[in-house]
């Protein structure tokens, strides 16, 4: 504009890796900033998809859902390992005719700990947590 070049920079979150050791040293505010940047990237990708001339949510395989799972630590670990293996296998597939790049995001957040005297209804279950 008026001879000024405007540049926009963004972090390529799919290429950003934060080590477990680094995560352990971050404070709550740092974690919230990282999470908000992650969510912003999901929103941006969704907006870019929806801004196309024509979208077909069903045919394009768009989905977003949330489920409450009751898992112990070992069951959660197995779920993460198995999910990661499936995603890694799919990531190894090269671009090819008929294939379209698809972004898969995952979020795991435990419900806050609840004491035995303070039982609440779990989201999506309608029964005590």
Domain range spanning residue 29?
13-54+67-91
State how far the Cα of 93 lies from the Cα of 95, in Å rounded to an integer.
7
How far is residue 114's CA from residue 71's CA, in Å, rounded to a whole number? 15
Supply the pTM of this predicted model. Answer: 0.67
Task: For residue 72, tell me if it sits in a domain.
Answer: yes
Asked if 114 and 120 touch (Cβ cutoff 8 Å), the reply is: yes
Sequence-separated (6 or more) residues with CB below 8 Å from residue 13: 37, 38, 41
Is 23 domain-assigned? Answer: yes
Residue 106, pLDDT > 80, answer yes
pLDDT in tens, 36-66: 999 999 999 999 999 998 999 999 999 999 9
Size of the chain, expressed as the number of residues it contains? 129
User: Does any domain span residue 24?
Assistant: yes
CA distance 53 to 2: 30
Looking at the domain assignment, is residue 75 inside a domain?
yes
- Whether 38 is covered by a domain: the verdict is yes
């Amino acid at each position: 504009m008026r001879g000024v070049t405007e540049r926009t920079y963004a972090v390529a979150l799919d290429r950003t890796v934060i080590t477990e050791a680094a995560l352990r040293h971050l404070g709550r505010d740092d974690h919230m900033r990282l999470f908000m940047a992650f969510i912003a990237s999901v929103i941006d990708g969704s907006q870019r998809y929806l801004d196309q001339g024509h979208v077909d949510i069903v045919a394009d395989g768009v989905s977003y859902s949330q489920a409450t799972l009751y898992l112990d630590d070992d069951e959660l670990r197995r779920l993460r390992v198995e999910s990661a293996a499936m995603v890694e296998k799919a990531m190894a597939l090269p671009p090819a005719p008929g294939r379209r790049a698809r972004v898969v995001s995952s979020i795991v957040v435990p419900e806050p700990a609840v004491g035995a005297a303070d039982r609440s209804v779990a989201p999506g279950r309608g029964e005590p947590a």
